[in-house]
Chains A and B, each alone.
Chain A
Amino acid sequence: QVQLVESGGGVVQPGRSLRLSCAASGFTFSTYAMHWIRQAPGGGLEWVAVIWYDGSQKYYTDSVEGRFTISRDNSKNTLYLQMNSLRAEDTAVYYCAKTETNGWYEDVWGQGTTVTVSS
């Protein structure tokens, strides 16, 4: 069964760091690009970052560029999001998602992990 399971969310103070993980199973993780997408409470979807299947390319949305780092360990079938200098506006549910084979959409999503940035 194809599955993504996020972990690592929690409550953190502004300016601190947090690392999210996404464990993949049921598919050949090392052959797919992976995304992080977030959703603020009561808000819409915001695409955050992508990493190529081999880690060779990474892209970020402007608001997290320089603060967040996406990475992956294909030997562990795990995707990561290192979040530094967290701000209140980073509060959201964070989803990891797998790219469909031809890149047209994200076809498998995790259940999400909640990050709350608050003093």
Chain B
Amino acid sequence: DIQLTQSPSFLSASVGDRVTFTCRASQGISSYLTWYQQKPGKAPKVLIYAASTLQSGVPSRFSGSGSGTEFTLTISGLQPEDFATYYCQQLKTYPRTFGQGTRLEIK
């Protein structure tokens, strides 16, 4: 199975900051990576798919990059509604797997 490792596990930041999360795959997955945002008590919401394609309706301050085994999600100019947990998911093979998540909190 493909393992995804997200770093950091926890990040404290302020409104207006630029933050970057990393997701590393245990083997190459080309661009078969999706980023989700989840808020407490809610189902996840897709932000980025195919590693770098912004989902319709998602603010342009979110961006994704990477290919192969290393991927990043960047938020440029944090807004209060961005404080949540972020997960990456690989779609290269079954079983699909998620990273363990990065929890973003307000400093």
* Chain B neighbourhood of A109, CB < 8 A: 43-44
| A59-B55 Cα distance, complex, nearest whole Å | 26
A47, B49: Cβ atoms closer than 8 Å: no
Of A18-26, A66-74, A100-108, which binds chain B? A100-108
B97, A47: Cβ atoms closer than 8 Å: yes
**B64 close to A (CB within 8 Å):** no
**A110 close to B (CB within 8 Å):** yes
Closest CB-CB distance, A36 to chain B, in whole Å? Answer: 11
- Chain B's interface size range is 20 to 34
Checking A59, A97, A105 against B95 with a beta-carbon cut-off of 8 angstroms, the contacting residue is A59
* Chain A neighbourhood of B49, CB < 8 A: 100, 104-105
Q: A44-B101, A45-B87 are in contact. Are A60 and B46 (CB under 8 A)?
A: no
- Which residue from chain A places its CB closest to the CB of B48 in the assembled complex? A105
Q: A44-B87, A44-B100, A47-B89 are in contact. Are A106 and B95 (CB under 8 A)?
A: no
* Chain A neighbourhood of B44, CB < 8 A: 45, 106, 109
Chain A contact residues, majority secondary structure: strand
Within 8 A of B (CB), among A73-98: 95, 97
* Chain A neighbourhood of B85, CB < 8 A: 44
* Chain B neighbourhood of A45, CB < 8 A: 36, 38, 44, 87, 89, 98, 101
A50, B94: Cβ atoms closer than 8 Å: yes
- Which residue from chain A places its CB closest to the CB of B38 in the assembled complex? A45
| A61-B93 Cα distance, complex, nearest whole Å | 11
* Chain B neighbourhood of A44, CB < 8 A: 85, 87, 98-101
**B96 close to A (CB within 8 Å):** yes
Q: A44-B98, A45-B101, A50-B96 are in contact. Are A103 and B91 (CB under 8 A)?
A: yes
| A60-B94 Cα distance, complex, nearest whole Å | 8
Chain B 62-95 near chain A by CB (<8 Å), digits 1 or 0: 0000000000000000000000010101010011
